[in-house]
């Protein structure tokens, strides 16, 4: 084989990061700041902070359909059209079904954002820490495999990333969501404070707190503060929330060590049998369709859960005939997504002369209380949290039956206060919930199409029942009126917390990654996005991905210095 020495030199970096979303951005920042020349490969287009937030300052009436997605787009793209954040104001940050098809053995809504920054532009920004209740659960219950880390291993890294990200929050002293490094919290409104007090009085174990959130209540690292527009997922021209685009990538760029290559689909990771390490990554340029190889000493895989695993599965060699790191046969298995099939709301007759000003871009959080402390459930394992919140919209029931001036008056006055609970349940890891490569279909760059075969099972269904009933019961005991079960049903995947499929563990016989997110058998490859998760807990996961990434980057560079990689 003819080897072009010059091309190899030109295409060689110290590190390659595949993906630029919330975890890839962190890998890039950490590796660059530690002095490594780092190439970030991103399959989508460039999105420059502020400049490319094309809808960020538009008024509602300036959108052709006032934000509504046209019917034709909905019909052609049913999956993405089910996503709560997909609108005329944000559609340019989402992948349409027709652009990147996948196969579903059972319904799975796969929500994707292919651009520099990935879904970090679009995330909900809730950042509760995990605790040992979560890290120990698999081992205690004999479910799947044990996590190779505990809270003490990740706690300093939670602090490390929180200090950079900027998390607003209150130190509530709850062991299920340990306190972190917080900027001042946002305030609860009068109804939320009332619910918090009443819950503590009536239940003892139920604690409503302001959600810890990656929106800046003070200026932080040259960003923000939040202007309380609550238009975050259009991209924030004030840098009021954390994204790769606003935060980690500019920090990486500042070092002079960063190269970002957009329009680059990673096709496979190149393994060298003699050194038992990988040498680089083979990509396809999505514009020219050209295949190019890049080389580096360490590779971070941060393509988002399913695409990271797809890449490992497609990286076969005689050492790894079934996909890189798949000695255990678990690669692609144990896919999870949180279960949000609970939405309950009620009206409160009171606080009639109270209102609020500004649009707080977060809500309140009722921390997990099931199967914790003295609570023991016989119908399901683990637990759930509620996203909760009080608000006071215009209009009352009267608007349903009147027109004319009476209607207009009703619509320009405040109605009763409302309070809602949305359940966020843990999903267990099941070997049968899996992804595989399509046998015969490839995309336009020659990558196999992904097949997803996953569903919620008995534990999730039993938990849903309890989430709904418990929320209804709490609203009733707090004297709410017109209590309503909205009967929310979402396909697995639509909660956009897909995780697992390349899990961490103690043993190469049962896991893909070790306790430092290092691929068993290919030790200079690290997977630090949602793919690495061994269980799902019920907290929003991004903070944990960020902390694991910073921790793994630190480990990788120290191993590199010790000449172990």
Partner 1 sequence: MLRKTFINRLALGSGSALLLPAASLLQGCEYKPTLRTALTDADIPLLDELGNTIIPDTMSSPGAKAADIGEYMLVMYSDCMPWEEQNIFLNGINELDSRAAQTFSGSFVEADSTQKLELLEVVQTEATAYQLKMEKEEKTLPHYFDLLKGLTISGYFSSEIGMTQARNYLPLPGKFEAYIPYDQDNKPWAT
- By CB under 8 A, the residues from 368 to 427 that bind partner 1 are 392-394, 399-405, 407-409, 411-414
Q: From 19-27, 59-67, 280-288, 304-312, give the range in contact with partner 1 by CB under 8 A.
A: 59-67
8 A C-beta contact, residue 130 and residue 537: yes
Q: How far apart are CB 365 and partner 1 at their closest, in Å? A: 16
Beta bridge partners of 167: 182
Q: How far apart are CB 190 and partner 1 at their closest, in Å? A: 6
Question: Site for partner 1 (CB under 8 A): which residue of 33, 67, 181, 286?
Answer: 67
8 A C-beta contact, residue 494 and residue 267: no
Question: Site for partner 1 (CB under 8 A): which residue of 156, 173, 329, 358?
Answer: 358
Q: How far apart are CB 392 and partner 1 at their closest, in Å? A: 8
Query: What beta strand segments (E) does 44-127 contain?
Result: 103-104
Does position 227 bind partner 1 by CB under 8 A?
Answer: yes
Question: Site for partner 1 (CB under 8 A): which residue of 45, 65, 431, 481?
Answer: 65
Give me the DSSP letters along 127-168. -PPP-HHHHTHHHHHT-S---S--HHHHHHHHHHHHHHH-EE
Q: How far apart are CA 508 and CA 324, in angstroms?
A: 12
Q: From 127-135, 148-156, 353-361, 430-438, give the range in contact with partner 1 by CB under 8 A.
A: 353-361
Question: Site for partner 1 (CB under 8 A): which residue of 69, 398, 462, 478?
Answer: 69
Please report, for residues 52, 174, 182, 260, the alpha-carbon distance to residue 29 in angstroms, rounded to integers and kept in the order given.
Answer: 21, 31, 21, 12
The CA-based dihedral angle spanning residues 308, 439, 511, 538, taken in that order and rounded to the nearest 10 degrees: 60
The encoded tokens of residue 25 equal 């951005």
Does position 489 bind partner 1 by CB under 8 A?
Answer: no
Does position 96 bind partner 1 by CB under 8 A?
Answer: no
Number of residues forming the site for partner 1 (CB under 8 A): 46
Q: Which is nearer to partner 1, 413 or 457 (CB)?
A: 413
- Please report how the helices 458-477 and 190-203 are oriented relative to each other, as an axis angle in degrees rounded to 10: 110
Q: Which is nearer to partner 1, 218 or 558 (CB)?
A: 218
Strand 298-301 versus strand 448-453 pairing type: unpaired
Q: From 58-66, 295-303, 320-328, 536-544, give the range in contact with partner 1 by CB under 8 A.
A: 58-66
Biggest CA-to-CA distance, the chain: 82
Binding mask 323-352 for partner 1 (x = CB under 8 A): -----------------------------x
Binding mask 1-40 for partner 1 (x = CB under 8 A): ----------------------------------------
Q: How far apart are CA 504 and CA 139, in angstroms?
A: 13
Cα four-point dihedral sign 366, 368, 373, 377: positive
Question: Site for partner 1 (CB under 8 A): which residue of 5, 60, 142, 256?
Answer: 60
- Please report how the helices 151-165 and 542-561 are oriented relative to each other, as an axis angle in degrees rounded to 10: 100
Q: How far apart are CB 240 and partner 1 at their closest, in Å? A: 11
Q: What are the residues binding partner 1 (CB under 8 A)?
A: 59-61, 64-72, 186-190, 227-229, 352-360, 392-394, 399-405, 407-409, 411-414
């Amino acid at each position: 084989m003819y080897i072009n020495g010059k091309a190899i030199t030109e295409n060689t970096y110290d590190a390659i990061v595949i993906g630029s979303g919330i975890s890839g951005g962190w890998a890039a920042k950490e590796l660059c700041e530690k002095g490594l020349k780092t190439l970030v490969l991103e399959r989508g287009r460039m999105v420059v902070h502020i400049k490319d937030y094309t809808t960020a300052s538009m008024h509602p009436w300036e959108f052709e359909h006032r934000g509504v997605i046209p019917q034709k787009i909905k019909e052609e793209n049913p999956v993405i059209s089910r996503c709560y954040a997909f609108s005329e104001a944000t559609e340019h940050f989402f992948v349409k079904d027709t652009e990147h098809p996948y196969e579903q053995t059972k319904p799975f809504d796969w929500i994707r954002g292919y651009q520099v920054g990935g879904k970090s532009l679009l995330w909900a920004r809730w950042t509760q820490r995990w605790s040992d209740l979560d890290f120990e659960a698999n081992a205690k219950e004999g479910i799947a495999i044990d996590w190779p880390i505990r809270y003490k291993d990740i706690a300093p890294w939670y602090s490390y990333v929180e200090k950079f990200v900027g998390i607003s929050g209150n130190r509530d002293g709850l062991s299920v969501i340990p306190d972190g490094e917080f900027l001042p919290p946002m305030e609860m409104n009068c109804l939320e404070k009332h619910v918090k007090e009443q819950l503590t009085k009536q239940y003892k174990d139920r604690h409503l707190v302001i959600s810890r959130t990656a929106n800046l209540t003070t200026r932080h690292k040259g960003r923000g503060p939040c202007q309380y527009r609550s238009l975050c997922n259009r991209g924030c021209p004030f840098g009021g929330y954390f994204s790769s685009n606003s935060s980690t990538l500019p920090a990486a760029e500042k070092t002079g060590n960063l190269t970002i290559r957009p329009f680059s689909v990673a096709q496979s990771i190149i393994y060298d049998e003699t050194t038992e390490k990988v040498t680089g990554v083979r990509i396809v340029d999505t514009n020219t369709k050209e295949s190019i190889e890049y080389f580096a000493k360490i590779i971070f895989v941060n393509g988002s859960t399913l695409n990271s695993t797809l890449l490992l599965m497609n990286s076969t060699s005689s050492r790894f005939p079934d996909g890189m790191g798949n000695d255990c046969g678990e690669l692609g298995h144990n896919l999870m997504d949180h279960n949000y099939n609970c939405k309950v709301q009620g009206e409160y007759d009171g606080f009639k002369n109270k209102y609020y000003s500004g649009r707080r871009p977060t809500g309140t959080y009722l921390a997990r209380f099931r199967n914790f402390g003295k609570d023991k459930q016989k119908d399901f394992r683990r637990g759930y949290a509620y996203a909760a919140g009080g608000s006071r919209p215009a209009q009352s029931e009267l608007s349903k039956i009147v027109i004319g001036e009476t209607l207009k008056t009703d619509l320009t006055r405040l109605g009763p206060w409302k309070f809602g609970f949305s359940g966020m349940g843990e999903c267990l890891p099941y070997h049968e919930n899996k992804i595989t490569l399509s046998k015969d279909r490839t995309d336009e760059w020659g990558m196999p199409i992904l097949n997803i075969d996953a569903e919620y099972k008995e534990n999730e269904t039993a938990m849903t029942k309890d989430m709904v009933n418990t929320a209804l019961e709490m609203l009733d005991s707090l004297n709410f009126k017109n209590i309503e079960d909205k009967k929310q049903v979402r396909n697995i995947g639509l909660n956009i917390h897909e995780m697992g499929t390349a899990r961490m563990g103690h043993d190469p016989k049962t896991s893909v990654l070790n306790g430092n997110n290092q691929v068993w058998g290919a030790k200079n490859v690290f997977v630090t996005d949602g793919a690495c998760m061994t269980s799902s807990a019920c907290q929003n996961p991004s903070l944990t991905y960020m902390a694991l990434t910073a921790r793994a980057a630190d480990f990788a560079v120290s191993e590199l210095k010790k000449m172990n990689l």
